[in-house]
Structure 1
Amino acid sequence: MAKLSAKLKAIDYPGISTFDESDEKCLRRLVVWLEENKLCLYKPKERADLKKTNSPTWNEAFKSYCTLCSSPISSDEILNHIEWLLGTAIRKEYNKDKVKYDEKSKLALETSTDVPMIIPSNNPIDNLDVNSCEFKEGVESLADILNISKHPDHIVTLEAIRTLIAKRLNEECIKDPLSVLPKGEAFPLELVKTFKNKSSNPAVEQALKVLRLVQVHRLRDLQTCINECIVSMQQITSNPKTDTKLGKVGY
């Protein structure tokens, strides 16, 4: 009701003090008032059926009116349609004198004393200046310790550090370091095929080979996840749970 009252106040509805959204007669009177004073989609003579608020055919007249208004509401509830009509009336009223309302809004924001209080955080991380020289130097030092290549953007470098720590330096990995170490022989980079049209720049060619290996690695991880999903589904379908109490022998 508070939301509806705010909209009624915005359009200066005269019956706001006695308005009851649970009373269908009040809703019908509001529709007539909106059409006569704000929306004005009908000519005066065409409003006859809409103004017969006690008529048993009023709902049909209102349905036709909503179609004329291009209402997107699919619900049969009159209140839902009225909320949309109120929004349309407010938007139309605003567009009539946009400059005046914009100036009032700006003045209200400038003179408003309802400013939220910001409580200082005790968490030192929240008070970090990520663009300070000290922070950048700290990220670069940490990248050197972890043997991570540095990116021109220190935030990207920090993200790489976070990924490495999450995957290789978590609690489980520290307990069993061998579980996360790559197994098998390293694949020779010179055997990696890139594209038919090779780059004339050796550095670019090497980078393309690395990117292809990374893509293959990601595809293998994806295939592993798919296989795990298939196995899980097979376990469910191959061992369905049945309730033997529901069984019946004979007729």
Structure 2
Amino acid sequence: MFARKLKALGYPSISNFDHSDQKKIQELVIWLEDQKIRHYKIEDRAALRKTSDISSWQRAFSKYLDDLSCPHSDRTNSPVTTDWLLGLAVRLVYGENPQRYRTINFYYVTEEAVKILRLLHIQNLRQLQSQINEALVIVQNVTANPKTDQRLGKIGR
């Protein structure tokens, strides 16, 4: 469900992520805050790191969502909230340098395709030239080196 966003963000354990597992959600939230969102100062992230006590972590997580202005009223570890956090992280990461992602240069791809087409065209021309040469040899065998038949008074075969 979240694999594409996790992959876009470079999350290290995509294959092990399970959105129904509380510990995995906590690890994801901590990783997002540490690596991508960076809304809190490092020393203010301590409440999110206390994952042993579920109730205190839920309070810290709810406050974190409030501080980020999460539009969803559900402050639990629902898939909607997780998806919103991932979307925010993607927006922050890819919004830092939008020009880098907007200018897609297909020149290289086009140039490589043109090179391949040129090579194929040259190969076809070489085959055609070989066929023309074979036809010339056959025609020369028929027309060249004529023998004279004096009885008929004609030159040729």
Same fold by TM (over 0.5)?
yes
Mapped partners of 1:94, 1:8: distance in 2: 13
Mapped partners of 1:58, 1:66: distance in 2: 12
Match for 1:36 among 3, 21, 34?
Answer: 34
Hey, what does 2:101 align to over in structure 1?
A: 101
Mapped partners of 2:9, 2:49: distance in 1: 20
Deviation per residue, 1:190-228 (Å, 9 max, x gap): xxxxxxxxxxxxxxxxxxxxxxxxxxxxxxxxxxxxxxx
Unmatched 5+ stretches in structure 2 = 111-157
Report the CA distance between 1:52 and its aligned residue. 1.1
Hey, what does 2:61 align to over in structure 1?
A: 62
Match for 2:20 among 22, 30, 34?
Answer: 22
**Code of the aligned partner of 2:40:** Y
Hey, what does 2:138 align to over in structure 1?
A: none
Mapped partners of 1:95, 1:11: distance in 2: 13
**Code of the aligned partner of 2:88:** T
Q: Which moved more, 1:40-49 or 1:94-103?
A: 94-103
Specify the SS of the correspondent of 1:8: helix
Runs of 4+ in 1 over 4 A off after TM superposition: none
Mapped partners of 2:92, 2:75: distance in 1: 24
- Structure showing greater radius of gyration is 2
Unmatched 5+ stretches in structure 1 = 112-251
Q: How does 1:201-240 map to 2 (within 5 A)?
A: none
> Cα RMSD (Å) of the superposition?
1.8
Q: How does 1:171-250 map to 2 (within 5 A)?
A: none
Report the CA distance between 1:50 and its aligned residue. 0.2
Hey, what does 2:51 align to over in structure 1?
A: 53
Report the CA distance between 1:62 and its aligned residue. 0.1
Report the CA distance between 1:97 and its aligned residue. 1.6
| Identity, % of aligned positions | 41
Mapped partners of 1:30, 1:103: distance in 2: 31
Specify the SS of the correspondent of 1:32: helix
Are the aligned partners of 2:62 and 2:75 in contact in 1 as well (CA < 8 Å)? no
Report the CA distance between 1:74 and its aligned residue. 1.1
Mapped partners of 2:88, 2:75: distance in 1: 19
**Code of the aligned partner of 1:41:** H
Specify the SS of the correspondent of 2:15: helix
Hey, what does 1:75 align to over in structure 2?
A: 74
Deviation per residue, 1:112-163 (Å, 9 max, x gap): xxxxxxxxxxxxxxxxxxxxxxxxxxxxxxxxxxxxxxxxxxxxxxxxxxxx
**Code of the aligned partner of 2:91:** R
Report the CA distance between 1:63 and its aligned residue. 0.2
Are the aligned partners of 2:5 and 2:87 in contact in 1 as well (CA < 8 Å)? yes
- TM-score normalised over the length of structure 1: 0.40
